[in-house]
Structure 1
């Protein structure tokens, strides 16, 4: 952990570990689970699963997964069922799941984009002949994946899809990440997801951890007494940086240890 012997970072860990009610909000891919070529095969590392379970079992401690994945896919990769105590925010906060013991969430009144399906069809047609590039249909739009594509195919796919959305859906939100560009007619972000979770759980402090560009929205939104953790390289607003998912699991285990004591 960067700053492991830094008194400022250590004090931040102690502060969240001892806060009256803690929300631990975690991105999933690249944060709890290694990045993989086949998205639905992603699973949390065993040590990350143990750390999450230890935190969720503590009094006045709520754990949530905050992901760009659709809620349905997030439940698959997180191996999450209706008995789980883990709160979920999928589609960058546009979809939510709460345990039955939690307060009911207000209904979602956002109108759908009636042209969305045909726009996604057109995006699929653009990348159909570009090896390694593919379109993932999402609840509120789509994602262009280029992890397996070469540089030329990646550039052609991004240019074509960007032109499509600019022409037919200029109001959609565009997000970039590692080998992925996402487009959605819903504009929620991980910052708004964390804000809603904070209010719903009554948290007095938030720990948020993530590894990618979209996680920086949430990291920048944190306030005094909160703790942001960046997993891996890249510019960040986080207080603490760890090199990879195993190191984050170790940090979460340490916070659980401090909070339990």
Structure 2
């Protein structure tokens, strides 16, 4: 026999909030969706294409993502993807063997979240030249590099033949110490690359720099080269004001810092 509730006894039951009505009053409706493509770097024969979909800074799963390429030579393993529980999507992009390197290839991703169309795109290079023995060289300044900066140069070859349009990136031991005009940069028709750089103001240190390129699906890089930087701050600033002599109605005031 069930016990009777005592008079005056208070019963507390937790009431869960309503989950809403699907299609009419959704329980959670984000307002600021976005899609973010990761940069795969240079697509040399093959590369992973990844990204994620978020809404109000929260990952969104189950979203269909459509991939496209401005260069028909880039073939996606799957160009229609669905985001996982972390909001991420991934596929593999391939380029046929003996395809010359193409610059300015645009990879785009688009989706629709809560009726809002979103998209993102990145610009890269793509190709797949036949190459058994890729090589890359790097020439750095031998003297101390001051505030005016210096230049990095080198050449990319494949089986002793120059590689045009190759993407070359630089790895610096302390990337906060120098400013590179382009990273990555691109080789010219003769396989030669050059990029200007300058020390950050106030830097006095020695850094190491390596150059890296991927040709025909094979990545090669140079040995580390030491570069001495000296762009120190002013220790004893001074200002001199020259005596203008007598000023009659007007005069020239001159000085030196």
Same fold per superposition (TM over 0.5): no
**Structure with greater proportional helix content:** 1
Greater RCO structure (CA 8 Å; 6+ sep) = 1
Structure with more of its chain in strand, by fraction: 2
Name the TM tier (shorter chain). Answer: under 0.3
TM-score by length of 1: 0.24
